[in-house]
Structure 1
Amino acid sequence: MTFRRFLTRAAAAAAALCSVLAFAACGADRHAGVDGLRHVTFMLSWAPDTNHIGVYVARNKGYYRDAGLDVDIVAVAQSGAEQAVNNGVADFALSNLTNVGVYATKGAQLKQVMQVQQKTSAIWCALASNKAIERPRDFDGRTFATFGSSESDAVVRRMIETDGGKGDFDKVTVGTSTFATLASGRADFGGFYATWEGVQAKMNGPELRCFTEPDYGVPGNADSIGIITSDRLVDDDPELVRAFVQATQRGYRYAYEHGDEAASILVHDAPEANLDEAFVAESMRTIVDGQYWGDRKQIDDGDFVLGSIDYDGTQRYFDFLAESDAYADANGRVVHEAPRSHDLATDEFLAGGARTRHTTHSEIHTQ
C-alpha cells in the first residue's frame, strides 16, 4: 500500500467520466429507509487504514445510527473512489482535495466536505543502506519508483532543485510495493507516508532515509485527506450530507482522543485487511503525536474545528502543480490554470462551525 496518494491520482487520468451504466445509477433512489434509517454508501479509497479510521469508529460507536443513517462501507471500485462518487455509485468516499482538483479539470463534479489531515505526511525515501543518497539532490541521476503521475514527478523535481540539484531522474513503475522495488535494486528512491509505511519501516524494517516536501520547496498542503461527495448530493440533499459529515466528524474526534481503542475497532471491523493491532495503534500514535489532524489544544479549546478545510494550504499546492504542468483535461491537454480550493470544498456541514485555516510560512517548515 505504498504511496496511495499518487496511485489514486494517476488513475484519474485514465478514468472515463460517467458511463451509461453509472449514469443510470445516478438517478436511482438509493436512500430508501430501512428500519427508519437512510442507507448511505461510503467507499474506501484503498485498503482500510488509519486514514479511514474515523468512519469505522463512527459506525462502531453508533454515531451514524444516532444520525438516522445506515452506512455501508464498501471496497474501492476499480475506476477509483472519486469516479464512483461522481457517477453516483457511492455517496461518500475518502479522498483528498488534490484528487478533487485533478478530477475537476476533467469535468467531474465533486466536493470535499471535510478535511481530516491538516499537514503533509508524504516522505521521500531511499533505503538507509544506500549510502549514495544522503539528501534530495542525490536523487539526481537515480531511479524513482513511481506510479506514473505527473504530480509525483513535479514534487520530486522541486525537492531536488531546491536542494541544489538539476531535477533529472529516471523512473520505473512500482510492482508489488515500493519497498520491494527498492529492495530489488530496480529503483533508488520512492514515496511513502510517515503515518503508515514510515511506521512499518520503524517497526519491521527496512530502515529508510527520508525527506519531507515542505523542507525542500514544495508549498502548501499536498495531503488534504478527508471526505468527498458529489455536487449533486450537496445540492439535492444537504441534510443527508450534514448528518453524515457530523457523525463522521465525531468518529475522527473520538479516534484522535482514544487512539488505541480506535485501532482495535479498525482491526476488528475490517478483518479483510488482516491488520496487526500493534502496528495500527502505533500509526495512530504517530498521527496524534504529530498532530496531523490538527492541534489538539486548539480543538479542545474550540479554536479549531476538526475537519475544517485548509483552503490556503491546498491552494498553494494547486498553484504549484499548475506551474509544473501537472494538470490535464479529459483530452490529455495540459491545463495551466489551477483549480480553486474554495470552489471544490466546503466546511459548512461541520458541527461547531467552520474555521478557515490560514497556514503561515513558518508553520509549513515546522510541520
Structure 2
Amino acid sequence: MKKGRWVPLLLACVLLMVAAGCGTGGQNKNTGAEGEDAKSPGKLRDVQLMLDWSANTNHTGLYAAKELGYYEEEGLNVQIVQPGAGGTDTLVASGNVPFGISYQEGVTLARTQGLPLVSIAAIIQHNTSGFAAPKDKGIVKAGDFEGKSYGGWGSPVEEAVMKSIMEIDGADVSKVNMVNMGDADYFTAVKRDIDFAWIFYAWTGIEAELRNEPLDMIYVKDYSDQLDYYTPVIVTNEKLIQEDPELVRAFMRATSKGYNHAIEHPEDAAALLSKAVPDLDAELVLASQKWLSPRYQDDAPRWGEQKAEVWSGYADWMFERKLLEKELDADRAFTNDFLPEQP
C-alpha cells in the first residue's frame, strides 16, 4: 500500500458538495442520520463508514467491531465501504457519509479551506510511514536520495517532506529524479523504474519481509517531531457532531472496543479481518497485524487519543513551507470528546 493520496485538487469539488449538503436538511438513513425507521425501537440504525483505501490492517478495529457485534450492541448497522468518487474527505465534509478514514494532512488542508472535517480518533499513535528502498539500492538516510529516482503521486507535500529531511543531512532535493508512479505496484516499480517510494511499513514493509526482499526504511518521524503526525485518523463533520452527538459517541464506543480487541488479540483480529475481506492475503494480514497491534495505542493513555501539539506542530510545518494558505486552528481540527473514558 502506497502512502495515501493527497487531496488539494479536489477542494473545489468539496466546497461545492458541502454547500449542496448544507441545504439537504439532514442526512439520509443510509448514512445514519435522521428518519423514523432509524429511531424505531429494536431497529438498527444504518451507518456508513468510508475507508481511505482498500481494506488493510489500519482498519482491523473497524472490522472487529462489526464482526464481534459491538456496533449492533450500540444499535448500529455499520456498512464499511470503499472510497467514493471524489474521495472520502469530500463525502464526509459534505455530510453525505457520516464517518470516514482520513489523514492528518488531509484534515489540516480541508480545515484551512473552511471545510468542516473533524478528526475524532487517531488510529495509530505515531507515524509509521516513510521512504523505503530495497537494500541493494544503498539508501540508508535521506541524504542518499540524491541521484536516485523517487516514485510518488505528484503531491507538493512529498517534495516538501523530502526537502525538509534531506536538508538535515545536507543534501539537495533538486538532485532527486521524481517519477509519477500512478497506481503501479511498489515491488514492480522498484525493479523497473524507481529506487525508493513512500510507504506504510505495516503493510508494504511487512510484505517485503514475507517476500524476503528486505528494505531500508527511513521513517519521517525520526527526522522531525513535526512529522510525527497522525495517519490515519477517523473523521466526521461538524454538523453531525452538533446535531447528533450521541450517534458519534455510540459509533466511537464500539470502534474503540474493536481496536482494543485488536490490540489485545492480534491473531484473532487478523482472522476477523481475513474473514470479512477474503481477498486479502491471510499470511500478510496476520504478520502485519502482529507488527501493528502494539502501535495502535503505543504510549497514549488510551486508543485514539490525540494531542493538540501534534496537530499544531504539523500544521506549522506545512504553513512554513507554503503548503497551507493560512494557519490552522488546531483545537477545532480534532476532538477527544467522543472517546470512551479509560477503563
TM-score normalized by the length of structure 1:
0.84
Alignment match, 2:264: 257
Question: What's the CA shift for 1:98?
Answer: 2.2
Alignment match, 1:359: none
- 2:340 is the counterpart of 1:351: yes
23-32 or 45-54, which deviates more: 23-32
8 Å Cα contact 1:10/1:148 also seen in 2:
no
- 2:279 is the counterpart of 1:277: no
Alpha-carbon separation, structure 2, partners of 1:136 and 1:26: 50
Alignment match, 1:286: 291
Alpha-carbon separation, structure 1, partners of 2:24 and 2:79: 17
Alpha-carbon separation, structure 2, partners of 1:250 and 1:188: 40
Q: Which residues of structure 1 form unaligned runs of 5+?
A: 299-303, 328-334, 355-367
Residue of 295, 302, 307 corresponding to 1:305: 302
Residue of 11, 17, 21 corresponding to 2:15: 17
Alignment match, 2:158: 152
- What CA deviation, in whole Å up to 9, does each residue of 1:345-365 have, x standing for no partner? 1011111169xxxxxxxxxxx
Provide the secondary structure at the position in 2 that maps to 1:210.
strand
Q: Please tell me the residue identity of whatever aligns with 2:328.
A: P
TM-score normalized by the length of structure 2:
0.89
Alignment match, 2:113: 106
The correspondence of residues 23-172 of structure 1 with structure 2, limited to 5 A, is: 27-30=26-29, 31=33, 32=35, 33=38, 35-131=42-138, 133-168=139-174, 169-172=176-179
> Across the two proteins, how many residue pairs are aligned to each other?
332
Alpha-carbon separation, structure 2, partners of 1:165 and 1:8: 25
8 Å Cα contact 1:25/1:87 also seen in 2:
no
Question: What's the CA shift for 1:83?
Answer: 0.6
The correspondence of residues 304-343 of structure 1 with structure 2, limited to 5 A, is: 304-327=301-324, 335=325, 337-343=326-332
Alpha-carbon separation, structure 2, partners of 1:230 and 1:322: 23
Calculate percent identity across the aligned residue pairs: 28
92-101 or 245-254, which deviates more: 92-101
Q: Structure 1 residues 135, 243: CA separation in 2 closer, same or farther (over 3 Å shift)?
A: same
8 Å Cα contact 1:45/1:81 also seen in 2:
yes
Question: What's the CA shift for 1:307?
Answer: 1.1
Provide the secondary structure at the position in 2 that maps to 1:159.
helix
Q: Which residues of structure 2 form unaligned runs of 5+?
A: none
- 2:190 is the counterpart of 1:182: yes
Provide the secondary structure at the position in 1 that maps to 2:302.
coil
Q: Structure 1 residues 147, 26: CA separation in 2 closer, same or farther (over 3 Å shift)?
A: farther
Alpha-carbon separation, structure 1, partners of 2:27 and 2:127: 38
Q: Which has the higher helix share?
A: 2
Q: Please tell me the residue identity of whatever aligns with 2:319.
A: A
Q: Please tell me the residue identity of whatever aligns with 1:80.
A: G
Alpha-carbon separation, structure 1, partners of 2:330 and 2:164: 22
